[in-house]
Amino acid sequence: MSQLSHIGPDGRARMVDVSDKAATAREAVAEGFVRMNAETLALAVSGQGAKGDVRAVAEVAGVMAAKQTSSLIPMCHPLALSKVEVRVEPGEGGLAVTARVKTTGPTGVEMEAL
């Protein structure tokens, strides 16, 4: 089994050193599907939720979460994100969620997209 990159030779946790890596364009896309009953889906799609438009709130919350990834996930590098786009679209039996994140830097944006 390969060695975990966030565990040093001494067995202790560390943030991976990316200082010698070249800055390159990076992009990650994450997709998921949130299943729900028909009544809940109808309310989410209507935009008339008691606390506002469910889909719009989820999209904004997704952008906010991507921007906070390094504060929420230990050992995750803080990154200058150049794009975060979250889309929530109705599907059969629920909502399809797609997040697309971009940066130019020495490490990827997979965790931010998730």
Distances (CA, A) of 111 to 4, 9, 66: 16, 24, 8
Domains belonging to the chain, first-starting first, are: 24-113 (3.30.70.640)
Angle at 103 between CA 67 and CA 23, to 5 degrees: 130
Is 112's pLDDT higher than 90? yes
The per-residue pLDDT for range 14-62, each reduced to its tens digit, is 999 999 999 999 999 999 999 999 999 999 999 888 888 999 999 999 9
- The confidence score (pLDDT) of residue 5 equals 86
Q: Which residues contact 87 (CB under 8 A, 6 or more apart)?
A: 59, 97, 98, 99
